[in-house]
């Protein structure tokens, strides 16, 4: 008899987005002439910039000629892209990452979801709360948790981010469970909070002291403008031994529908076998990557490489500046309504303390203003009392949404 993985039954249904969809549909039926403005999910809206579109198109043309055709590429990605990243995202900022420590993939969601496979099932996993649900669900599927109870899975450690700690959790203290695998995300999704070098250094120190591994999700690093803030965990000395970093072209270059990301696994990064002997995490990831993945589309990799030309860089800077200006407008408006916020600076998300029920605030924004946002409770218990507003939309939509919200909140 073909028996199913019993752990899938522990997963909670994705109530959040189906409930949002249901409410939006209800509103649409009731207000057929009203345009709904979406500031909910974190999906970019600006077109691919010209130089990147041109590189993408040229590579497609190559594929249409016998001379330029490309079949299977290296599973880990083409050297031209790995080299461009090593220099453009790290070397130029004084961080020493070799091209063969960079693994190209079709998405940070895939990579952050898949990497847990490299580790034993009885390790202790720690995740932020509020959290990007992929970190949790993939560990549930793998059997690293017990049952779901009141917003939490038994057996997981949760790092609560709230106003008390300025939305930057500290590592577990002595007396608390030791965490072996640590998920961190800065600039954070959903809170938009950014960690200082000192705050990241505390996590690196914790990982060193406990032989833990940090999975650092830096999908939003392109929004960091403050030169004092780290955009990579490898700015912290010693992090290369205890941290894997995930990056994406999705929010950096508008690639949510084009699909390209990468994961950095330094040669020094170490895990341990049952005898306590060191094992190279890079070797394990390389084995997984070559066994279960067949590389990213060649034209997509050429498009991604175009992000590192001088023109490409300027175009992307313009794009992230545009969304950051949206974020600033949102934060200013929300604060003017008397709500306190985090994010919206060095981050495309604004996390609002709505002083009450997440869903009530969501309903108010939808029903009074036709604006869709995301209730914080969908990201975990610590998200209750908060909502997330995303800066990913066209300026005129954002301005229109803020005008409508202003009217709604003056009522």
Contact 255, 249 (CB under 8 A): yes
Interaction between residue 257 and a second copy (CB under 8 A) = yes
Binder of a second copy out of 79, 163, 279, 360 (CB under 8 A): 279
Binders in 127-186 for a second copy, by CB under 8 A = 133-134, 137-138, 141, 180-181
Interaction between residue 123 and a second copy (CB under 8 A) = yes
What order of strands is seen across the sheet that includes strand 341-343? 341-343, 349-353, 386-390, 374-375
Interaction between residue 353 and a second copy (CB under 8 A) = no
Interaction between residue 71 and a second copy (CB under 8 A) = yes
CA 89, 94, 97, 99 torsion-angle sign: positive
Smallest gap from Cβ 358 to a second copy, in A, equals: 23
Dihedral of CA atoms 29, 40, 111, 260 in degrees, nearest 10, equals 90
Residue 53 or 400 having the CB closest to a second copy:
53
Binder of a second copy out of 276, 310, 410, 411 (CB under 8 A): 276
What's the token pair of residue 76? 């880990």
Residue 6 or 227 having the CB closest to a second copy:
6
Residue 228 or 273 having the CB closest to a second copy:
273
> 215 has which bridge partners?
183, 244
Binder of a second copy out of 10, 23, 27, 46 (CB under 8 A): 46
Interaction between residue 243 and a second copy (CB under 8 A) = no
Residue 293 or 409 having the CB closest to a second copy:
293
Residue 134 or 408 having the CB closest to a second copy:
134
For residue 400, the SS3 value is helix
Binders in 286-325 for a second copy, by CB under 8 A = 287-288, 290-300
Alpha helix (H) ranges present in 142-175?
A: none
341-343 and 278-280 as β-strands: parallel, antiparallel, unpaired?
unpaired
E strand segments, 277-329? 278-280
Task: Return the HEC string of 56-93.
Answer: HHHHHHHHCCCCCCCCCCCCCCCHHHHHHHHHHHHHHH
Closest CA to 47 of 397, 337, 319: 319
Interaction between residue 398 and a second copy (CB under 8 A) = no
Interaction between residue 48 and a second copy (CB under 8 A) = yes
Tokens 């949760």 correspond to what residue? 158
Smallest gap from Cβ 186 to a second copy, in A, equals: 20
Closest CA to 353 of 152, 167, 106: 167
Residue 229 or 307 having the CB closest to a second copy:
307
Smallest gap from Cβ 227 to a second copy, in A, equals: 30
For residue 275, the SS3 value is coil
Stretch in the footprint of a second copy (CB under 8 A) among 19-27, 81-89, 211-219, 373-381: 211-219
Q: Residue 237 belongs to what H/E stretch?
A: none
Smallest gap from Cβ 5 to a second copy, in A, equals: 6
Interaction between residue 272 and a second copy (CB under 8 A) = yes
Contact 373, 40 (CB under 8 A): yes
The site string for a second copy over 76-115 (x = CB under 8 A, - otherwise) reads ------------------------------xx-xx--xx-
Interaction between residue 5 and a second copy (CB under 8 A) = yes
Using CA atoms, how far apart are residues 131 and 214, in angstroms rounded to an integer? 15
For 253, half-sphere exposure in the C-beta direction (CA atoms, 13 angstrom radius) is 28
Interaction between residue 385 and a second copy (CB under 8 A) = no
Phi, psi (deg, nearest 5) at residue 103: -115, 115
Smallest gap from Cβ 16 to a second copy, in A, equals: 13
Alpha carbon 9 to its chain's center: 26
Stretch in the footprint of a second copy (CB under 8 A) among 59-67, 333-341, 345-353, 377-385: 59-67
Q: With CB under 8 A as the rule, give the number of residues binding a second copy.
A: 85
Interaction between residue 41 and a second copy (CB under 8 A) = yes
CB-count burial class (<10 Å; 0-12, 13-18, 19+) for 6: exposed
Binder of a second copy out of 77, 99, 172, 254 (CB under 8 A): 254
Interaction between residue 21 and a second copy (CB under 8 A) = no
Binder of a second copy out of 26, 69, 154, 336 (CB under 8 A): 69
Interaction between residue 360 and a second copy (CB under 8 A) = no
Residue 61 or 321 having the CB closest to a second copy:
61
């Amino acid at each position: 008899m073909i028996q199913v993985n019993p752990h899938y039954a522990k997963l909670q249904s994705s109530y959040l987005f189906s409930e949002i969809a249901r409410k939006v549909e209800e509103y649409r039926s009731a207000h057929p002439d009203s345009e709904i403005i979406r500031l909910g999910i974190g999906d970019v809206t600006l077109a691919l910039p010209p130089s990147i579109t041109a590189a993408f198109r040229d590579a497609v043309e190559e594929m249409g000629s016998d001379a330029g055709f490309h079949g299977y590429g290296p599973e880990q990605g083409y050297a031209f892209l790995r080299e461009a990243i090593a220099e453009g995202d790290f070397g130029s900022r004084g961080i020493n990452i070799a091209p063969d420590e960079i693994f190209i993939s079709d998405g940070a969601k895939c990579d952050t979801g898949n990497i847990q496979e490299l580790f034993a099932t009885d390790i202790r996993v720690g995740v932020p709360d509020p959290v990007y649900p992929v970190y949790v669900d993939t560990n549930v599927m793998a059997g690293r948790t017990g049952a779901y109870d009141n917003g939490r899975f038994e057996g997981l450690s949760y790092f609560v981010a709230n106003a008390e700690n300025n939305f930057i959790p500290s590592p577990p203290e002595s007396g608390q469970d030791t965490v072996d695998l640590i998920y961190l995300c800065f600039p954070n999704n959903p809170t938009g909070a950014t960690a200082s070098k000192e705050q990241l250094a505390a996590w690196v120190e914790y990982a060193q002291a406990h032989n833990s591994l940090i999975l650092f999700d830096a999908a939003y690093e392109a929004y960091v403008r403050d030169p004092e803030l780290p955009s990579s965990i490898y700015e912290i000395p010693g992090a290369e031994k205890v941290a894997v970093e995930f990056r994406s072209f999705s929010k950096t270059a508008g690639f949510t529908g084009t699909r390209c990301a990468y994961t950095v696994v330094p040669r020094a990064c170490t895990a341990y076998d049952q005898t306590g002997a060191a094992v190279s995490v890079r070797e394990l990831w390389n084995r997984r990557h070559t066994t279960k993945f067949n590389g990213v589309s060649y034209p997509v990799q050429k498009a991604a490489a175009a992000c590192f030309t001088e023109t490409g860089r300027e175009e992307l800077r313009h794009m992230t500046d545009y969304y950051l200006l949206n974020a600033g407008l949102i934060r200013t408006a929300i604060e003017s309504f008397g709500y306190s916020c985090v994010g919206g600076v060095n981050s495309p998300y604004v996390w609002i303390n709505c002083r009450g029920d997440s869903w009530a605030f969501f309903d108010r924004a939808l029903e009074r203003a036709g604006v869709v946002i995301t209730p914080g409770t969908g990201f975990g218990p610590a998200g209750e009392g908060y909502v997330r507003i995303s800066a990913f939309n066209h300026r005129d939509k954002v301005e229109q949404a803020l005008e409508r919200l202003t009217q709604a909140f003056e009522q």
